[in-house]
Amino acid sequence: MNLRQELEVPAVSTEKKKPLKKFKIDKWIPYLFILPSTLMIVTFLFYPIGTVFYYSLQHYDISAPFYNAFAGLDNFKKIFTEDKLFFPSLLTTLKWVVSEVGLQLIFGLTAALLLNQKFKFRGMVRSAAFIPWAISGVLASVMWSLMFNEHMGVINDLFMRLGIISESKAWLAGSTSAFISVVIAELWRGIPFFAITLLASLQSIPEELYEAAKVDGANRVKTFLYVTLPSLKNTIVLTTLLRVIWEFNNVDLLFNLTGGGPAHSTTTLTMYIAEQAVHGSNFGYGSALTVVVFAILLVFAIIYLRITRYDREGN
């Protein structure tokens, strides 16, 4: 090697060296934040649902553990072929849900329209109208059981003063009167839900729509039919769907007022499930009934949303 080669400076490479890939903890931080919520959802929601489906395929009666074994579809076969109370309780449930949701929607919409008007002490009236929704089902059932009481109830006293009845009546003792009584009690508690949600939706309707309808010569009825109702469509669909599910699964008020009686006239499907699982200790059969209820509500929700075309028109 000559002197020139020794003194020759090697050419510097212009290519940038790629930095070494480092493990970044930042991308995992969001998942760490949602991990506690995910664990709680899995623990308190998905695991109980999974156990219900599991026990629906089992003979699981804690009062007779020696008969506990895999049942397959026997519980479901018994529900649809042998159970004499399943279809009557399902019919009672349908009557209960239709009457409750229909009446709550009508009275709730009426209350929302009234509370949307401008008048003195509107804030106070709104607060008072929403009080029944804040009362628990157990407390509401105690209040109404006292009002329906045959000997000291305010209902009998009021009706006798008005001349509607001549003597005290046991409202929760007759088949027809008991069903009507629990419908009224739940109606009082459920109306504020529709009133709150529909009032919020009414306040979001642009005032320009009403002004345009007024310019076109539309009266109040036409304005309600062609402006207000279309604007409330999505809210009505969603609230009725939620309320159908809640009323289908309603137990507390019915259980405390009538216990499903008299003569099973107020025994809904969820009341029947509670009777089988809690009182009868037959958790396998009760779980099978619960799976049937889940299937009914799932099919209903899908069909209902398709029929109503919820949120497809951008309204």
Residue 47 burial (C-beta neighbours within 10 Å; 0-12, 13-18, 19+): exposed
The verdict on residue 8 lying in a domain is no
Query: Would 6 be classed as within a structural domain?
Result: no
Is 2 part of any domain? Answer: no
Average pLDDT for consecutive 10-residue bins of the chain (315 residues)? 50 50 69 88 88 89 79 90 92 94 94 88 85 86 90 89 87 89 92 92 88 85 88 91 92 87 88 85 90 94 87 55
Look at residue 4 and tell me if it is in a domain: no
Dihedral pair phi/psi, residue 282, rounded to 5°: -95, 80
pLDDT of 79:
92
What is the model's pTM? Answer: 0.83
Residue 98 lies in a domain: yes
In a domain, 90, yes or no: yes
Indicate whether 110 and 150 sit together in one domain. Answer: yes
Indicate if 207 and 307 belong to the same structural domain.
no
How far is 188 from 180, CA to CA, in rounded Å? 12
Q: Which domain holds residue 293?
A: 27-84+268-315
User: What is the C-alpha to C-alpha distance for residues 201 and 179, in angstroms, rounded to an integer?
Assistant: 32
Strands (E), the chain: 58-59, 69-70
Q: 102: part of which helix (H) or strand (E)? A: helix 86-115
16 domain residue, yes or no:
no
What pLDDT sits at residue 3? Answer: 46
